[in-house]
Amino acid sequence: MSMTVLTVGQVTSYIKSLLEGDRNLNPVFISGEISNFTDHYRSGHLYFSLKDEKAVLKAVMFASSARRLRFRPSDGMKVLCRGRISLYEASGQYQLYVDDMQPDGLGALNLAYEQLKARLEKEGLFHAARKRPIPRYPRRVGVITSPTGAAVRDICQILGRRWPMAEIVFCPVLVQGEGAAPQLVDALKRMNCIENVDTIIIGRGGGSLEDLWAFNEESVARAVAASRIPVISAVGHETDFTICDFVADLRAPTPSAAAELAVPDQVEEQGLVESIRYTLKIDVESLLSRKKMELDSLTARRCLRDPMESVVQKKGELEHLTRRLAAGVSLSVSRGKEELSRLTGTLDGLSPLKVLGRGYTLAQTEAGDPIRSVSALKEGEAFRLRFADGEARCARMAEKEEPHEP
């Protein structure tokens, strides 16, 4: 019996044809837990393994299929995959080629919503500190919504009724479907290029999660966050929350409520103006009344009724003060003279001439210095004696020697 020798490639090709021809394996639905997840960011292909408590299965999801995912797979996530079993001939390993993937137990849209919400919140796009106030009196209000439906009609009616002074700049867009998100992003960019647009309303009426999904797209959320103009998000009904609501500067429960939040009510503003005008009128009248009373009080004074009387009165006061000043000066001069006489007498009593007049003399050197002791003079030295009526020149005589006893 002859035997056929096969190459490795022939064997792997044969096994691959068996696997791909098995109707039980193509297509196939497999549930398991993701492990060893790798996102090949350049090609867009996803590589991972599916495992349970008994086995592990290699899997790959090509970029064409991965782009349709609404959520981001990760390790430990339980998923349900649809695909086919085939053989990768280069490694001789069989694996699952995934065409579609859904979270096991949680819808893909719900999971994508929660994942994006957590990521953007971590980045700070939801922080209250970055929210800007909505202008109270807008000149232009930008409206981004569908051209058909009740939302645009309700918004325009309410804006026109409440604040007709504001111009409405309308940008019609798709609000659901594949092309909705790019149109919303483009509309936001265009609104930011229009002059004097003070507020932007973006939204649509209610619908299912799938209908509202365009407002949960990351591109729309980032366009809202990047807007230089404050944005009011009005998507769905009061119970509907989208990522756009969290990023916007203000969230309105409905499109109609957004229109009411965007502009003031002209009737209320007119009432406020009337109230302020009435208050100002009362205040001005009260001020004028007080000032009139003050003026009447001033004009009733005697100095204003008869100015010359005041002049005469002040003249009399001046003459009285002049007399008091003259008397004070005369008294001060008299007292000064008396004090001068007293001091002069005291000084005269202490004068050296007075002392000399009583028979005393003043001895002085030729230079005029006083001589206080005879020892200050040398024998034969000249000095002066000053008397009350003149002076005499003298000289110290030699002292006589006492005779010695024999």
If you ran DSSP here, which 8-state letter would residue 130 be given? G
Per-residue model confidence (pLDDT) at position 144: 97
Per-residue model confidence (pLDDT) at position 400: 63
Of 49, 73, 106, the domain-final residue = 106
CA separation, residue 70 to residues 139, 210, 296, 401 (Å): 39, 11, 84, 150
Question: Are 149 and 204 within 8 A, CB to CB?
Answer: yes
Per-residue model confidence (pLDDT) at position 24: 86
* Whether residue 279 sits in one domain with residue 234: no
Token code pair at residue 199: 């507020």
214 alpha carbon, distance to own chain's centre: 34
* Whether residue 231 sits in one domain with residue 290: no
* Whether residue 118 sits in one domain with residue 97: no
What is the rounded CA–CA span in Å between residue 242 and residue 206? Answer: 11
* Whether residue 256 sits in one domain with residue 189: yes
Which of helix, strand or coil describes residue 150? helix
Q: List strands edge to edge, sheet with 390-395.
A: 362-364, 382-387, 390-395
Q: What is the DSSP string of 234-256?
A: EESSTT---HHHHHSSEE-SSHH
Of 311, 342, 373, the domain-final residue = 311
pLDDT tens by residue, 29-59: 888 889 999 988 788 899 999 988 899 999 9
Q: What is the mean pLDDT of each run of 10 residues along the chain (406 residues)?
A: 80 88 87 88 89 91 90 86 91 92 75 88 95 96 94 95 96 94 97 96 90 94 97 90 96 95 95 94 94 87 75 86 90 90 78 68 82 81 82 79 56
Question: Are 135 and 231 within 8 A, CB to CB?
Answer: no
108-123 helix and 218-226 helix, angle to the nearest 10 degrees: 30
pLDDT tens by residue, 227-272: 999 999 999 888 889 999 999 999 999 999 999 999 999 999 999 9
- Residue 346 maps to a domain: no
* Whether residue 255 sits in one domain with residue 128: yes
What is the rounded CA–CA span in Å between residue 252 and residue 260? Answer: 9
* Whether residue 388 sits in one domain with residue 254: no
CATH code of residue 88: 2.40.50.140
Question: Are 20 and 26 within 8 A, CB to CB?
Answer: yes
Per-residue model confidence (pLDDT) at position 2: 62
Domain residues for the domain of 370 are: 353-395
- Residue 340 maps to a domain: no
Per-residue model confidence (pLDDT) at position 23: 85
Angle (CA) 15-21-24 rounded to 5° is 110
SS (HEC) of 95-107: EEEEEEEEECCCC
Total number of domains in the chain: 4
Per-residue model confidence (pLDDT) at position 152: 95
- Residue 61 maps to a domain: yes
pLDDT tens by residue, 213-229: 999 999 999 999 999 99
- Residue 235 maps to a domain: yes
Of 229, 264, 299, the domain-final residue = 264
Per-residue model confidence (pLDDT) at position 5: 87
- Residue 142 maps to a domain: yes
Per-residue model confidence (pLDDT) at position 383: 83
- Residue 341 maps to a domain: no
Token code pair at residue 319: 């003459």
For residue 171, what are the β-bridge partners?
144
Which of 48, 68, 46, 44 has its CA nearest to residue 57? 48
pTM over 0.75: no
End-to-end CA, the chain: 196
- Residue 337 maps to a domain: no
* Whether residue 207 sits in one domain with residue 128: yes
Rg (CA), the chain: 59
Containing 159, the helix (H) or strand (E) segment is helix 150-162
What is the rounded CA–CA span in Å between residue 235 and residue 142? Answer: 15
- Region label for 6, one of left (φ > 0), alpha (ψ between -120 and 50) or beta (otherwise): beta
Token code pair at residue 171: 């940008």
For residue 103, what are the β-bridge partners?
79
- Residue 280 maps to a domain: yes
* Whether residue 122 sits in one domain with residue 257: yes
Token code pair at residue 106: 């949680």
What is the rounded CA–CA span in Å between residue 314 and residue 296? Answer: 24
CB atoms within 10 A of CB 277: 10
CATH code of residue 192: 3.40.50.10550
* Whether residue 82 sits in one domain with residue 33: yes
